[in-house]
Structure 1
Amino acid sequence: MTLRLGINPLTWTNDDMPELGAETPLETWLAEAREAGFEGIELGNKFPRTAAELSPILARHGLALVSGWYGARLLERDVEAELNAAEPHIALLSAMGCGVMVHAEVSRAIHGQRGTPLSRRPVLWEADWAVLIPRLAAFARRLKARGLHLAYHHHMGTVIETEAEIDRLMAETPPEVGLLLDTGHLSFAGGDPARVAQRHAGRIVHVHCKDIRAAVLERSRQRDLPFLAAVLEGVFTVPGDGCVDFSAVLRPLAARGYVGWLVVEAEQDPANAHPLTYARMGHDALSRFARAAFG
């Protein structure tokens, strides 16, 4: 597999706030994603969830399915129960030829709670780490046997959010647990995406390329906003439109021989950020950064 550019449907709508872009049909998302130059797209809330339905739709637009988010609850249920819950999702990704599954632990998560400030996000106690790590490792091994690499998505408002938590997760899990590096979420959490890319390049199996508007981030932190409120304020944008140094992020990945997807993911209110305009901006900027880093 070579380096490929994809996009997440959050440009057009939002799974946690489905009223955003609710009037825009799936066919528009797909046509505009392709028009902007992307080769693939991740799952969103209007996608059919069987390969028989989804495959011909994507084929009409010349798009591949990149992957799709799965919110796990391994702190609350054992590996067998989690695998049973995930089976329809795993089956879809496998049938569509995906290489990774986007995976986040959402037990106790607050990112979808519109009235809960981020300062109240959950943290893992030592007893929680002792439960999560072996279950996550076992889940990842079982997933790998199905041809999918687990791509752990650190995320604001969840139990794995900070740079230190990412470091511990990588230190205590086997290689089957891959890392999804999300430049926007890590920057929001106060981390350094370039430093994490340098430190964990060998474990990174998927990349979400999200930029940050620094002034909005500062206001969001000062006001201790809920995650979705910060999104509506415009904290995220596409690569090249904010303060993330994507050249510094991509260089260590290129040096380590990263292959796979670079995905533009920038949740915004489509009423304020015209989706096709921002999709094009993100594609063109990320293409420039990728060419400079990967050659």
Structure 2
Amino acid sequence: MKAKLGMSPIAWWNDDLVELSDDVSLEECLRQSRSAGFTGMEKGRRFPDDPEVMLPILRAADVTLCGGWFSGTLVDEDLAANKDRILPMIELFKAVDAPCIVYGEVGRSIQGDRSKPLATKPKLSDDEMKAYARKVTAFGEWCADQGMPLSYHHHMAAVVETEAELDAFMAASGPGIPLLLDAGHLAFAGGDVLRAIDNHHARINHVHVKDIRRAVVDGLDRTRQSFLDAVALGAFTVPGDGSLDFGAIVQRFADYGYEGWFVVEAEQDPRKNPPLRMAQVGHAELMRVMNAAGYTVETQGFPTR
């Protein structure tokens, strides 16, 4: 089985908490992650939107674009508005041969609002969840028809956060909307990562290997503290520096024959946890567990075709 290892630039630049950002260029971010052994990087705010500009940067760094976040609003807005916003991203991702676009629902979400405690996260009724899931499925099918699959990202402080919400969304949606399984977000929400893989492996097409610091997560007052407060306190980190058993998690993916990207997405204070050092820790731990699970990790970055 083959696997690819990527990173998210959120370890270097945090879009929601600017103070948790390292003042480095895109080129330096790519250099650091590649030197740690990662061959892919998800899109961040310092990436150009023109493929003619992006491709030479990726080529020089020997890194491929392995995904990127789209802020969806389908819980509140119609398909047409989201199609208009995502179409330029689809064309860009096709031009640079990215594997998927990560769909993150921001409608009603409190993930970017530091004044909103975790306990006030939005919740959908059963009927609302079913209607939302059908809508996201239709959107996923449309994006795939344009030549770029989506990957649905369950997320803290959003309408699909908990394991029960994920199960309900998956039951009401269809194969037209694949799943991004994020270990850290699910564990933060109190879910069982291995059970979620068992239940939804057939639709998982992208994986975020985010780790958590259990003491930080368990110590939160969710009636007072927000998602961004948790991030600032260090709730998230890289595999090998946190509390999750990635040996068991990666083995479970291997058991189901998953092949594809495992992406480290670990936002935290770069002054306390320098991104290069964190990248090195994460890569070393992933290589250890990948080898144990029987994966061959691809070492080629930018495609030579």
TM-score by length of 2: 0.93
Structure 2 match to 1:141: 141
Identity %: 43
Aligned residues of 2:11 and 2:21 also touching (Cα < 8 A): no
Partner of 2:289: 289
Give the structure 2 partner of residue 185 of structure 1: 185
Which letter maps to 1:250? V
CA, structure 1 residues 2+146, in 2 after alignment: closer, same or farther (shift >3 Å)? farther
Q: Residue 226 of structure 2 aligns with which residue?
A: 226
Residue identity in the other structure for 1:13: W
Q: Aligned residue for 2:111?
A: 111
Distance in 2, matches of 1:218 and 1:240, equals 19
Q: Which moved more, 1:150-159 or 1:19-28?
A: 19-28
Tell me how far 1:272 sits from its aligned partner: 0.8
| In 1: Cα distance, 2:53 partner to 2:64 partner | 14
Does 2:275 correspond to 1:275? yes
How far apart are the structure 1 equivalents of 2:130 and 2:205?
A: 24
Counterpart secondary structure, 1:42: strand
Contact kept, 8 Å, 1:99 with 1:147, in 2: the verdict is no
5 Å-filtered alignment, 1:55-70, equals: 55-70=55-70
Secondary structure of 2:45 counterpart: coil
Alignment of 1:155-170 (within 5 A): 155-170=155-170
Question: Which residue pairs with 1:79 in the alignment?
Answer: 79
Which amino acid in the other structure matches residue 103 of structure 1? Answer: Y
2:20 touches 2:232 (CA, 8 Å); kept in 1? Answer: no
More deviation, 123-132/140-149: 123-132
Please name the residue that 1:263 is paired with: 263
The residue type equivalent to 1:86 in the other structure is I
Q: Which residue of 1 aligns with 2:100?
A: 100
Mapped pair 1:154 → 2:154? yes
Q: CA RMSD in A?
A: 1.5
Secondary structure, in 3 states, of the residue corresponding to 2:219? helix
Cα distance in 1 between the residues matched to 2:131 and 2:223: 34
Deviation at 1:130, TM superposition (A): 4.0
Give the secondary structure class of the aligned counterpart of 2:280.
helix
Instruction: Kindly provide the CA deviation profile for residues 17-63 of structure 1, in whole angstroms up to 9, marking residues without a partner as x.
Output: 23432522212101101111000000111111121111111111000
The answer to whether 1:21 aligns with 2:21 is: yes
Off by >6 Å, runs of 4+ in structure 1: none
- 1:31 corresponds in structure 2 to 31
The total of aligned residue pairs comes to: 295
Q: Which has the higher contact order (CA 8 A, sep 6+)?
A: 2
Deviation at residue 226 of structure 1 after TM alignment: 0.6
Per-residue deviation at 1:65?
0.1
1:109 Cα deviation from its structure 2 partner:
0.5
> Which shifted more, 114-123 or 243-252?
243-252
Q: CA deviation at 1:219?
A: 1.3
Code of the aligned partner of 2:269: D
Q: Mean Cα displacement is larger for which, 23-32 or 223-232?
A: 223-232
Aligned with 1:271: secondary structure? coil
The CA deviation at 1:258 is: 1.0
Assess if the C-alpha contact under 8 Å between 2:4 and 2:261 holds in 1. yes
Moved more, 151-160 or 14-23: 14-23
